[in-house]
Amino acid sequence: MSNDLNAILEGKIYFEGQKLVEKLMPYVLVTSSVASFLTGFALQSLSLTFGAMGFSVVVLTVTIIG
């Protein structure tokens, strides 16, 4: 029982996936930042800018963790 629980809690590191995330994350963040800024600028809404950026960060976080 202890070995099974230890195996579940230990987890495994997937190095190829980690490398892919490290490559893609800056591009996704910069793209979402630019898109959020342009959307907020076009609609003259600072709250929309921060909302869109926050949403994209949450989506990226859920995608990376999931």
Phi, psi of 44 (to 5 degrees): 55, 50
Confidence (pTM): 0.71
The Cα 37–Cα 49 span in angstroms is: 6
Dihedral sign (CA 25, 26, 28, 32): positive
pLDDT of residue 38: 96
CB atoms within 10 A of CB 62: 9
The Cα 64–Cα 48 span in angstroms is: 24
At residue 5, does pLDDT exceed 80?
no
Q: Summarize pLDDT for 8-66 with one digit per residue, the tens.
A: 677 677 788 889 889 999 999 999 999 999 999 999 999 999 999 999 999 999 988 87
The Cα 32–Cα 27 span in angstroms is: 8
